[in-house]
Chains A and B, each alone.
Chain A
Amino acid sequence: MKIVVLVKQVPDSGAERNLRAEDNTVDRASANNVINEMDEYALEEALRIQEAHGGSTVTVLTMGPERATESIRKALSMGPDGAVHVLDDALSGTDALGTSKVLAAALKRLEPDLVLCGAESTDARGQVLPHMLAERLGVAALTGARKLTVDGSQLTIERQTEEGYEVVTAATPAIVSVWDTINEPRYPSFKGIMAAKKKPVETLTLADLGVSADEAGWAGALTTVASHAKRPPRSAGVKVTDDGEGGTKLVEFLVSEKFV
């Protein structure tokens, strides 16, 4: 089985994240740039499928600026065979719809049986990409998986919902997005880190993918961020130390705010 894992480099959600004053895009220069956390679960799931099904390959696909190379090497250190990096100056400013156009073109070229990705990224949290890709490629999208079973070309997921879960099936080729409940990602081994340095990373430009520059980037974007502002930080209110009446004081506060 040919598996492609979508990996996005994002600003670390555990640190301060900013938008740039000049163009309202993510300030990547000042950020600690890491693999989107949910994508690590997709990588782990791909590697487990590869281990269980002989003859499978796992390829990382990333669209992003030059510095995304660090995240690609990190992903490869977990065990995938190689990576494809869509890298083009004209990609700056691409919105979700444009991203799906570019990644769909890359996936057409790679012809995977299975595409795995995180259910959402920690920066945009849009959850729109897997279905956008499925729509463009005419393949199934099994999204929000907390469990994935592969039986030949038949895929079955448990999809987490508000009410419980749904069992959803499809045949390959398909896109599966995963939540962090699906597995526990491995840590890269020292051997894995050394091996990752030698693994092939193919770089593709928009021209290579047959996408014209005005279909991506600022030129192709159908959404724009007009302005941004820091949300005023919450200020701490009253803090009392429990002197035996802490619970009562808490309720008095709730009453004063009309919650009780």
Chain B
Amino acid sequence: MAEVLVVVEASGGTVKKVSLEMLTMARALGTPSAVVFGDAAGLADKLGEFGAEKVYVASGDDVESYLVAPKATVLAQLVKDVQPAAVLLGSTQEGKEIAGRLAVKLDNGVLTDVSALEPDGTATQVIFAGSAIVKSKILGGIPIVTVRPNSLTPVAAPVTPAVSNLDVAVGDADRLAKVVERVAEAKGARPELTEASIVVSGGRGVGSAENFKLVEELADLLGAAVGASRAATDSGFYPHAFQVGQTGKTVSPQLYVALGISGAIQHRAGMQTSKTIVAVNKDAEAPIFELADFGVVGDLFQVVPQAAEEIRKRK
């Protein structure tokens, strides 16, 4: 079976969940091979656990000190060398950007935000704020697709991967955008927003930055990531990086808890595909209740502390 290249997303020496989802998806299409940009130490075991027969590693200054262009060049060469059945990347900023460059280099179509990929190359995409589903296909080339996090459940299939280093041969055109500094902004021990199984978000109704502690408290009790509506980030209650919605992150967790969020279309665009939705809002007519599997009409400053206390009791 032909190889399926999976471009690994990792953070702080840990493989991100979307990579494991992609390896799981790849096994239905061919033989999964992982591609790691940067330090692969500590990643290969995890990638093997989820079925990566091979791990290709490209590291060094040329790959790590510039924005995406060198990665696309290395990946394009690998595609030419191994003739994979498909290339899967995470539907993240960097994954999409590499995919875009790869598409130009190979003159091959590209599909983003794919949630399922059939062996015949048919891709499923949920579009327009979760209101429509399209089936798309790449014509006359290999599927180059970016996979939306939380599209499937990763399933282990342990193998011992063969690790090999790739030659990094990039040109001056790949060294135009230099990364001079990487600054980590504290997010604590919480899971990453787009990858989290549970997301607890706060909106305008939370009222202040100070009150967001309530949202964080519930999130921590549930092992959840914290999100915020645009109204909350624009009001300065919570950093923009955590915005869920049309102009922020799209999340698709198992459970989404909306606190003091009315459910404007801008917000729904980012969370509508969540499996289960729970809402607390004092306005019984808030549109969020049209989506909620369970809704509480009430004051979140009463309901949330009580819920937190109840969870503590049950733990």
A residues neighboring B (CB under 8 Å):
13-19, 24, 37-38, 95-97, 100, 119, 122-132, 134-136, 138-144, 146, 159-171, 174, 179-181, 221-231, 233-234, 236-242, 244-251, 253-255, 257, 259-260
Report the minimal beta-carbon distance from B7 to chain A, rounded to whole angstroms: 14
Contacts of B306 in A (CB 8 A): 245-248
Chain B residues near A163: list those with CB within 8 A: 11-12, 182, 184-185, 187
Interface size on B, residues (CB 8 A): 95
14 interchain pairs, CB-CB under 8 A: A13-B269, A96-B103, A97-B104, A127-B112, A166-B179, A174-B177, A180-B247, A222-B108, A224-B137, A226-B135, A229-B134, A230-B133, A236-B289, A247-B302
Show the binding face of B for A, using Cβ within 8 Å.
11-12, 67-69, 72, 92-93, 96-101, 103-105, 107-113, 122, 126-141, 173, 176-185, 187, 192, 194, 198, 222, 240-241, 246-247, 250, 254-255, 265-266, 269, 272, 276-278, 280, 284, 289-299, 302-311, 314
Residues on the B chain within 8 Å of A141, using CB: 67-69, 97, 176-177
The chain A residue sitting closest to B143, CB to CB, is: A223
Residues of A contacting B: mostly = mixed
Chain B residue nearest in CB terms to A238: B294
A246: which B residues are within 8 A, CB to CB? 280, 296-298, 302-303, 306
Are A259's CB and B198's CB within 8 A?
yes
- Say whether, besides A228-B134, A230-B132, A259-B222, A250 and B255 are in contact (CB < 8 Å): no
Known contacts A162-B192, A166-B179, A259-B198: A248-B310 contact under CB 8 Å: yes
With A and B bound together, what is the CA distance between A55 and B304 in angstroms?
Answer: 56
Most chain B CB atoms below 10 A, which of A130, A230, A251: A251
Q: Which residue of B lies closest to A129 (CB)?
A: B100
Which listed residue (A132, A168, A257) contacts B100, Cβ 8 A?
A132
With contacts A96-B100, A223-B139 taken as known, whether A122 is within 8 angstroms of B246 at the C-beta atoms is yes
Are A242 and B296 in touch, CB under 8 angstroms? yes
Q: By the criterion CB–CB under 8 Å, are A250 and B110 in contact?
A: no
Minimum CB–CB distance from B182 to chain A (whole Å) comes to 5
3 interchain residue pairs of minimum CB distance: A242-B298, A247-B306, A128-B100
Write out the residue numbers on chain A whose beta carbons fall within 8 Å of the beta carbon of B113: 125-126
Closest to B224 in A: A259
Which residues of chain B come closer than 8 Å to A96, judged between CB atoms?
100, 103, 110
Question: A141-B69, A234-B290, A246-B302 known; A168 and B108 CB under 8 Å?
Answer: no
A233 neighbours in B (Cβ, 8 Å): 131
B295 touches A237 (CB 8 A): yes
B298 and A241 form a contact (CB under 8 A): yes
List A contacts of B293 (CB < 8 A): 237-238, 253
